[in-house]
Amino acid sequence: MKMKRFDVGLFIVHPTEDPVAISGILGLEPTRAWRVGDERTTPDGDILSGRRVDTRWRFSRRYETSDQWFFKQVEDLVELIEPHAEFIRELVASGGEVTLEVWLLGDGYFGDSIPAAFIKRLSDLHMGFGLESFLVPQNGHDDQLVVTLMPRPQVRLRRPVLETIGA
């Protein structure tokens, strides 16, 4: 069976926060980060003109699977972040944005459902949700940790996601 790749990550943008502090509080090492005022560079380190206008901090983890489902890995990342809920809410209250992101890297079909209770958890954290899906397989991030997933059982109970939203 063909293996398909997807990334799950956390993206933080803030006007002033130190990325070293973000890493220390969350206990996660970013895949890319910079601080407001830093010299602009490409991912390869080439210098660009100007200075960074905000702090950006991104953590991501790559997964490989022969299945279509990705939600469990999304939930696992949120479970790592939830103990730091007050910090996440403070980032947002002080002008930042915190987004949970999923990248479907173009290797094949993915489909999953995100329960309303999980959407409420993100809302309680004041976090957004981003999804990127590519038509053409993506390269890059080859130095990232890749987690290969075992297939899930094919029997699934599906409930309408929207039944409890707004309740």
Contact criterion met (CB below 8 Å) for 40 and 52 = yes
Contact criterion met (CB below 8 Å) for 62 and 5 = yes
Residue with tokens 């890493």: 23
Q: For position 140, what pLDDT does the model report?
A: 58
Exposure string over 120-135, b if 16+ CB within 10 A, otherwise e: ebbeebbbeeeeeeee
CA distance 69 to 108: 12
Q: For position 155, what pLDDT does the model report?
A: 32
Confidence of residue 45 (pLDDT cuts 50, 70, 90): confident
Instruction: Of 20-29, 101-110, 140-149, 156-165, give the lowest mean pLDDT range.
Output: 156-165
Answer whether residue 166 shows pLDDT above 80. no
Between vectors from CA 105 to CA 141 and to CA 65, what angle results, nearest 5°? 95
pTM (two decimals)? 0.80
User: Per residue in 65-96, pLDDT tens?
Assistant: 999 989 999 999 999 999 999 999 999 999 99
Q: What number of other Cβ atoms are within 10 A of residue 5's Cβ? A: 20
**Residue 27 region, left (φ>0) first, then alpha (ψ -120 to 50), else beta?**
left
User: Per residue in 9-19, pLDDT tens?
Assistant: 999 999 999 99
User: Per residue in 114-165, pLDDT tens?
Assistant: 999 999 999 999 999 999 888 877 775 544 444 444 444 333 333 333 333 3
Q: Enumerate residues 6+ apart whose C-beta is below 8 A from 75.
A: 118
CA distance 96 to 12: 7
- Segment 49-64 shows an average pLDDT of 94
